[in-house]
A = this chain, B = another copy of it.
């Protein structure tokens, strides 16, 4: 019964967004019994300094706690590590260097997903933290696909995105959803054909309010979940997952 593959999840940022990834993995997996589901170990330890504040220079670095989590997951001999938090990929190089297990890069995987869309959108809006937007992790990859990125203004970040993000973190998903929906609408008004939900709190909140904009959304956490399921199926030698 030992597993050929064991998935590690470095979560906690936030804890609910971590469960959202785990839920998506289970929903996507075409399992007929317990044993056909992915083996996943999740480090959902949210005692990590705030990533947005660290980047803004107003809080401690999350790196020591992130490296500790990577070390703990590697102790269990995980094969891959998924991190359901876009922002934390700012520290990806240091984490990848410290990890024996391969760390799946959520932005690379989301970009592959976007590249596969038919028809490929010409303009894509990005809702994300200032860290994610400033580093250009999405914009650079979209540019290589010939896609124009439409991003949040400083005002939208401060007045809508940040309050929305922290609302979800304290469990006020409806308020968060409404704020994110306002942002999404603004990006569509500026020409976005699709929206990247570039912070894992966003799909959780939009789902809570059953937002119609979910149909225009690209959810990197979903792409990450799908990628994990494909890796699992490849390891099992079963047929490729057909995603509708």
Contacts and interface: CB of A to CB of B under 8 A. Distances in A.
Interface of A: 1-3, 6, 12-16, 19, 22-23, 26-27, 31-50, 60, 64-65, 72, 75-76, 166, 169-171
Task: Enumerate the 10 nearest inter-chain pairs by beta-carbon distance, A residue then B residue, closest first.
Answer: A39-B45, A34-B46, A14-B34, A42-B42, A15-B37, A32-B170, A37-B46, A40-B44, A1-B47, A34-B169
A34 B13 contact: yes
A89 B3 CA distance: 24
A163 to B, nearest CB: 13
Contacts of A50: 33-35
A169 B15 CA distance: 24
A34 B2 CA distance: 34
A4 to B, nearest CB: 10
A147 B52 CA distance: 53
Nearest to A64: B1
Contacts of A48: 1, 34-35
A75 B41 CA distance: 13
Contacts of A6: 45
B26 A47 contact: no
Q: Which of A6, A39, A46 has the most CB of B within 10 A?
A: A46
Given A39-B46, A41-B41, A72-B76, 6 more contacts: A1-B49, A1-B60, A19-B22, A36-B46, A40-B45, A41-B44
Contacts of A72: 41, 76
